[in-house]
Structure 1
Amino acid sequence: GRYSEAEPLYIQALALRRKLLGEEHPDVATSLNNLAGLYDSQGRYSEAEPLYIQALALRRKLLGEEHPSVATSLNNLAALYHSQGRYSEAEPLYIQALALWRKLLGEEHPDVASSLNNLAALYRSQGRYSEAEPLYIQALALRRKLLGEEHPSVATSLNNLAALYYSQGRYSDAEPVYIQALDILEQRLGVDHPNSVSCRENLAYLRDRLPQNPE
């Protein structure tokens, strides 16, 4: 999060790569993507967008349409639009990225699970819960299979699915899923990790909504 220290270094790296390798080189695209990612993290979306677009165009030109780096660029630009609430622009990019990762990496790969999760999150943001749910469930199943039951990414998927149920008012469905997520996070990352704290807060907030059992 030391953005003011990171920015001049990313800019220097980009300038040096352009000077040494020329404008059209994959490493230049990587530098553009990294600087865009920094601006994205800071909410400087109008500065991030043209850099992400340049990186995507360069990767397509140099690496071809079907390359993992192109999928990454599509995903990053989609995430930027998602952050801005530009959902109709984000959706086709997320879908393209998912299709590309499936084609290049096969159905069973962590990047495919992440892509499913991202598209599900977009649908959840739009209130398209019935479309989001099967994608979250697929992502969770894939992460369990590839990473094991106790992986932090599995906890992330559980947390996301619980949050979806919460959004729908399905509190009794959400509670056990949040409990599973919190158990993994506290065991693997510790009770004070930001992800653990966030999940614990989600569970507490949910429990405030649950009907109280009579004593």
Structure 2
Amino acid sequence: CPWPRAYVQTGQTDQAEAMLRKIIALRRRNKGEKHPDFATALDQLGQFYLRQGQSQKARPLLEEAALIRQETLPASHPAQAISRTHRALLAEAEGKPAEAERWYQESLAILQQSKGEKHPCMGRPSITWPSSTKIKNDPPKPPLGFRKPPG
């Protein structure tokens, strides 16, 4: 849903948070708490908090989303990689580079398995070289163990 992003881009973070919470409530009611779409809604709110510098609020949401995906989706499903990438970003924000590296490596392995090395997404910087600048204003640096994107 693009609306929460539009609120964030215009500085209306309270409205974005409220909308993300409404999405969670709707998905809970319509799909149930053990559905991948519910996990996606939790993940989106977790990412919102992470981008706001609120890792303590992001962690339980990202962990619950990952658990639901582990219980409901195949191990090689791309959403499993998304969960691991988001948990890596969380670990980076919390100053835990070893944990971040482990999550990034798992994410990359899942994408290689599910998409293959030649898939276009494998050349995307967000897949091959995530940047911590999304969370804080440090100069970009490669996460441990990731390859630099081509070009």
Cα distance between partner residues in 2 of 1:110 and 1:118: 16
Structure 2 CA distance for aligned equivalents of residues 87 and 23 of structure 1: 31
Relative contact order: is structure 1 or structure 2 higher (C-alpha 8 Å, sep ≥ 6)? 2
- Which residue does the alignment assign to 1:112? 122
Hey, what does 2:143 align to over in structure 1?
Answer: 122
CA RMSD of superposed structures (Å): 1.8
* TM-score normalized with structure 1 length: 0.56
Q: CA deviation at 1:82?
A: 1.1
Q: Does residue 93 of structure 2 align to residue 83 of structure 1?
A: yes
- Which of 12, 28, 31 is the matching residue for 2:38? 28
Q: What code does the residue aligned with 1:4 have? A: D
2:16 corresponds in structure 1 to 6
Cα deviation for residue 118 of structure 1 reads: 2.7
**Secondary structure of 1:92's match?**
helix
How far residue 43 of structure 1 moved from its aligned partner, in angstroms, is 0.4
Secondary structure class of the residue paired with 1:118: coil
- Aligned positions, number: 130
- Structure 2 distance, partners of 1:14, 1:32, is 6
Q: Which runs of 4+ in 1 moved over 4 A?
A: none
How far residue 12 of structure 1 moved from its aligned partner, in angstroms, is 1.1
How far did residue 44 of structure 1 move? 0.6
Higher normalized helix content (fraction of residues): 1
Q: CA deviation at 1:60?
A: 1.2
Confirm whether residue 19 of structure 1 aligns to residue 40 of structure 2.
no
Distance in 1 (alpha carbons) for counterparts of 2:14 and 2:47: 14
Max Rg structure = 1
How many Å separate the matches in 2 of 1:101 and 1:29? 19
CA distance in 2, matches of 1:67, 1:108: 17
Residues 30-75 of structure 1, C-alpha deviation per residue, up to 9 Å, x if partnerless?
1001100110110010000110111111011111211000101100
